[in-house]
Structure 1
Amino acid sequence: MNILQINSSARVAGSHSTNLANQVSARLQEQHANANFKLRDLAITPQPALDETALQALFTPADKRSPEQAARVALDDALIAEIQAADVLVIGAPMYNFGISSQLKNWIDAISRAGVTFRYTATGPEGLLKGKKVYVVLTRGGLYRNTPNDTQMPYLKAFFAFLGMTDVEFIYAEGLAMGTEGEQRAISEAQSQIEALVA
């Protein structure tokens, strides 16, 4: 089994989403002693945003790309290779201003490539990353689950399904900014979800 963990907090240290994602990965490794583990922390090695250089590079044939364009595509290729090799994905996803972090959005843009991770067919799009298990740790300062303000979960669920990944479990830690008691309760509830879902 190959486990890929993506940390998308802007924080290198002290992140609830990272700490809880670490617990998911640790539990998986306890259950699968021979598992290979790969960590990509997007705060330590940030992926650049999708910009004009990246778009021009992607639409330029490989043998005609400039060195700058080739280097830009190579960054995306590395992320795509990681997710293609993974059997299980563990995503730490904090909520920033009602959405995902820019770090996670840049990763999403990097791995979304027509003809590689998805393709268009006569009957519609088809994801090419089928058969993977995904665990997403959602951390929020407030309480948004099952409300219109929970934009993270529907977006991520739709995105992973678009790439062929439909076996997705969401782990919630909410109320983290609602006092010490609320923070402790949120972490405890998330840990209980991890124990129940990563079994």
Structure 2
Amino acid sequence: MKTLLQINSSMKGESSQSSKLANDLSDRILSHLSDIKHIKRDLSKDEIPHLDEETFQSFQDDLTDIASGVNDKLTISNDLIEELESADILIITAPMYNFMLPSTLKSWIDFVVRAGRTFQFTEAGPESLLSNKDTYIIMTQGGMSLGTSDDFMTPYLKQILGLIGLHNIQFVYVQGLAMGDDIANKNIEAAYDEIVTFQV
């Protein structure tokens, strides 16, 4: 059985454009693949703690004799990594806040990008430990910089996901959401049309 892992990160939850698009893409994938499991995380409801020094150290040492609060965070990391390892298809929403991705999504990244679990250091440099997966990233923005030289999110996500082995990434950009209904609606419609073309 295949597994679809969906990570929604908008602070608006299900009402956000990025979540609606991700849900639509998930529905299309689920309708095409009969034998598939769907895991969905809404980071606006199920928040992941920010990374702190003790937790980071526990990621490196994987100690059992550590403070219970830190042990809880280590368990969260292990669970999130196991979800990611089991996934065949990954959908991530990444709305732009202040020119960067949501802090909730950054926390998810910090808990799954972990030396010794999803990548490792070698004499030749870092080496990925995850198998490649079909990855879709829905990126939304009030302005018009996504996919340009002023977009800091696209190269970051390519770099950090590539570190752990995810290279087969398709981006869906929805821009101009704060530039009036005509522009917003046109770009939202174009994004839905693009999703229809995906081979799943």
Same fold (TM over 0.5): yes
Asked whether the equivalents of residues 28 and 198 of structure 1 are also in contact (C-alpha less than 8 Å), the reply is: no
Q: Is residue 2:161 matched to residue 1:160?
A: yes
Structure 2 gaps of 5+ residues are none
In structure 2, give the amino acid aligned to 1:25.
S
Give 1:23-102 correspondences, 5 Å limit: 23-102=24-103
Partners of 1:128 and 1:21 lie apart in 2 by 26
In structure 2, give the amino acid aligned to 1:29.
L
Partner of 2:21: 20
Partner of 2:175: 174
Asked whether the equivalents of residues 96 and 141 of structure 2 are also in contact (C-alpha less than 8 Å), the reply is: yes
Partner of 1:127: 128
Superposed CA deviations along residues 153-173 of structure 1, whole A, max 9, x for unmatched, are: 111111111111110000111
Partners of 2:52 and 2:187 lie apart in 1 by 37
Alignment TM-score, normalising by the size of structure 2: 0.95
In structure 2, give the amino acid aligned to 1:135.
Y
Paired-residue identity, %: 37
| Structure 1 SS opposite 2:150 | coil
**Residue 12 of structure 1: CA displacement?**
2.2
In structure 2, give the amino acid aligned to 1:186.
N
**Residue 128 of structure 1: CA displacement?**
1.1
| Structure 2 SS opposite 1:190 | helix
Superposed CA deviations along residues 159-188 of structure 1, whole A, max 9, x for unmatched, are: 111111110000111111111111111110
Q: Cα–Cα, structure 1 residues 85 and 61, in superposed 2: closer, same or farther, change >3 Å?
A: closer
**Residue 70 of structure 1: CA displacement?**
1.2
| Structure 2 SS opposite 1:9 | coil
Partners of 2:176 and 2:88 lie apart in 1 by 31
**Residue 72 of structure 1: CA displacement?**
1.6
Structure 1 gaps of 5+ residues are none
Asked whether the equivalents of residues 3 and 36 of structure 1 are also in contact (C-alpha less than 8 Å), the reply is: yes
Partners of 1:198 and 1:180 lie apart in 2 by 30
Q: Cα–Cα, structure 1 residues 19 and 61, in superposed 2: closer, same or farther, change >3 Å?
A: closer
Partners of 1:20 and 1:198 lie apart in 2 by 16
Partner of 1:183: 184
In structure 2, give the amino acid aligned to 1:64.
D
Asked whether the equivalents of residues 121 and 127 of structure 2 are also in contact (C-alpha less than 8 Å), the reply is: yes
Superposed CA deviations along residues 42-62 of structure 1, whole A, max 9, x for unmatched, are: 001000101123124334452
In structure 2, give the amino acid aligned to 1:19.
K
| Structure 2 SS opposite 1:63 | coil
Partners of 2:58 and 2:126 lie apart in 1 by 23
